[in-house]
Structure 1
């Protein structure tokens, strides 16, 4: 049976693609601007064509040609543009941020390819910060000083998502969106991500996918309808005694972590040392939950960040005074143990931390494949195929 072809934009470490391949899609092309990402793709899938370039400089014709497909040929195009412009960490500049490293405009490049390539389906993934982003950025302090009616309309929270959703709907695709938590789909990590899916011909996509896992104390888990969330211990316990793990050591401030118990943070540091340990952040209001954070064995990991050695986004091992290693990052994101990551240690952290966990991708991919297989007019349909969701 022929496998439905797919194209992957903003490919990254291939977490999204692994989930779609597992369902049965055929990956025809990958595209990414990062040279380390491209080398990672080559190291793991040397047979898959790669466009290693800025998507702004790549025509849709070139994308289709290299994938060996014509207009309307891709069954699905996936993509998760860089999210820094929408991230809740740091300053947000939203859709006006066209710097290559920030990518606020890249969602519109994704839309450009969708409009021109006309795939049957698309899957867009991004950070949940997009939901509250504004079209025009104003500082937090300026926002707090103004009354609601004094804030310009395009600077109001949520206007960027409204604009982007309107753009997706304007393609003529039947659009659905949802926020999914990776922990609900068998990933040992509490990681929420925004997904937008679309169907060109109006075929209903059974989206969002029903969760397979839940809180251990939830009724669904107690009654056996769902499995309990996987924990950090489930993911990395067997790595705890390895001496060859790859990681960047904490800077000098790491000395304070000896005071922090598993599941704790900066508030567990002795009071007389907190001001010294926190520096200027000691006087800030809110947003300090991640400072000096030590993980707990018996809970899912918090969302992996692109750098676990920063004071404000610390991800310290439960028992050892070190950050999570690259290998532990990969386990928590559910990459295969033999998956290769190319680049510096920091590049590997970033690559893995930005990826979609394959089990979450698998859950979304099943929704798309179900829509494909149950559509009588689809050349890849199979009315006899049964799905056990």
Structure 2
């Protein structure tokens, strides 16, 4: 007979819904027995430690104790304590990459409901300033119902509010990356403005015409002094060559920076923040972290090796394909299909069915002179351009981080997949910095009442002042 399962309270049951449960044989003092243990769901035995069930006892009381002690120690802010509340409610529920979006009832998707939670937090804390970020699909999905909801909640709470769409490439990065930002400010504060572009980038896929006036850009014909766009070569050409099988977590650069972008992105934290002593150089050799790619399967690696090292190369360059007048790719019926050592075809079926075979994104190489598409949370070569221009691999974590504007001294945590996700989910650093500057102007009540402002010259690569 097996040992009976311990009695579990209603509160403990709520916790146990999130865990896996098992009995484990325990040998102690020469005796054999069973011990009831749990492990959080979604984690394997190699990723965490089994915990005894006793650690989950008295859940409700423990949560109450935590709240009481947290209130006394002010571990969490209270109404009136907060100056600025920033957040990006999850976008997966509305993103165009999600083929299973709930179109009929968006707020039934728990991820979309986080916008409600975000605004509830604003209502509770009553911060002086609010900044919410989301994907541009928030203006396209369901007639922009979620964007309208967020704006209406702020206005209903007596906040000043304005909404704007910004492109990362316009602030000194080699990727387009459109994002929507919603500013809010109490009536007693100056409502922050949106910083105008600093770089001359032609952006694709702007929001719907209905929200054209919310685009953060110069009007046509308006005088402007913009810098040349940053391209892929400017951002990553100094990084050492690695293979698809690279596993090193750190390495040396191997060559000096070649561009203004690279010189800036390779600064130490002290140098970038303006704390380094002038004329004093760090004697230690600079170390490069996170310069490793997601390792391709053997089949995909062999396919990538067949993609030419040239601009515009993609799966259409694989053998045995023809492109019709309708721009649809099909197998060449006159040629024998090439097979891989695994027995699978060189050209997989999914590239022929993706977007009816009309897409050029599967197994596509990026090129040196390009402003690249939006960096997402994983370099999936099956449906996006993610291949290095001249090396047979996807872009590394560090290369993705460079495209997002993360300085090289930033290090990312977790598995390779989780690190890509951290980079792809982030707000592009130069955009965040520009918004932070406009917030600083507003806090000092120095800005105007118009929605747009001009950043200082050479803002992108300026060091932070120390005074």
The verdict on a shared fold, with TM-score over 0.5 as the criterion, is yes
User: Which of 292, 295, 300 is matched with 1:246 structurally?
Assistant: 292
Separation in 2 of the partners of 1:72 and 1:214? 41
1:160-309 mapped onto 2 (5 Å cutoff): 160-201=146-187, 203-215=189-201, 225-242=225-242, 244=248, 245-251=291-297, 252-257=299-304, 258-260=306-308, 261-270=310-319, 272=321, 275=330, 277=347, 279-283=349-353, 284-285=355-356, 288-309=359-380
RMSD (Å), alpha carbons: 3.5
Separation in 2 of the partners of 1:63 and 1:303? 44
1:73-88 mapped onto 2 (5 Å cutoff): 73-88=81-96
Query: Structure 1 stretches of 5 or more lacking a match?
Result: 1-33, 36-56, 135-156, 377-385
1:301 CA displacement: 2.4
2:134 is paired with a residue whose SS is strand
Separation in 2 of the partners of 1:272 and 1:63? 69
Separation in 1 of the partners of 2:369 and 2:387? 15
1:215 CA displacement: 2.9
2:195 is paired with a residue whose SS is coil
Separation in 1 of the partners of 2:320 and 2:431? 41
1:146-165 mapped onto 2 (5 Å cutoff): 157-165=143-151
Given that residues 315 and 351 in structure 2 are in contact (C-alpha distance below 8 angstroms), is that contact kept between their aligned partners in structure 1? no
Given that residues 307 and 313 in structure 1 are in contact (C-alpha distance below 8 angstroms), is that contact kept between their aligned partners in structure 2? no
Given that residues 133 and 161 in structure 1 are in contact (C-alpha distance below 8 angstroms), is that contact kept between their aligned partners in structure 2? no
Tell me whether 1:336 sits opposite 2:407 in the alignment.
yes
Separation in 2 of the partners of 1:366 and 1:342? 28
2:405 is paired with a residue whose SS is coil
1:314 CA displacement: 4.1
**Cα deviation code 1:116-138 (max 9, x no counterpart):** 1111111000111111222xxxx
Q: Which residue of 1 aligns with 2:426?
A: 355
Q: If you compute each CA radius of gyration, which structure gives the higher value, 1 or 2?
A: 2
Count residues with an aligned counterpart.
Answer: 297
1:211 CA displacement: 0.6
Given that residues 232 and 296 in structure 1 are in contact (C-alpha distance below 8 angstroms), is that contact kept between their aligned partners in structure 2? yes
1:71 CA displacement: 1.9
Separation in 1 of the partners of 2:67 and 2:87? 15
TM-score relative to the length of structure 1: 0.67
Return structure 1 stretches of 4+ with deviation > 4 angstroms.
61-64, 216-220, 273-276
Q: Which residue of 1 aligns with 2:387?
A: 316
Given that residues 119 and 150 in structure 2 are in contact (C-alpha distance below 8 angstroms), is that contact kept between their aligned partners in structure 1? no
Separation in 2 of the partners of 1:64 and 1:174? 32
Structure number with higher relative contact order (C-alpha < 8 Å, ≥ 6 residues apart): 1
1:165 CA displacement: 2.8
Please identify which structure carries the higher helix content. 1
Q: Which residue of 1 aligns with 2:134?
A: 126
Q: Which residue of 2 aligns with 1:388?
A: 456
Separation in 2 of the partners of 1:205 and 1:81? 21
TM-score relative to the length of structure 2: 0.57
Separation in 2 of the partners of 1:120 and 1:354? 26
1:179 is paired with a residue whose SS is strand
Given that residues 190 and 445 in structure 2 are in contact (C-alpha distance below 8 angstroms), is that contact kept between their aligned partners in structure 1? no
Separation in 1 of the partners of 2:403 and 2:83? 30
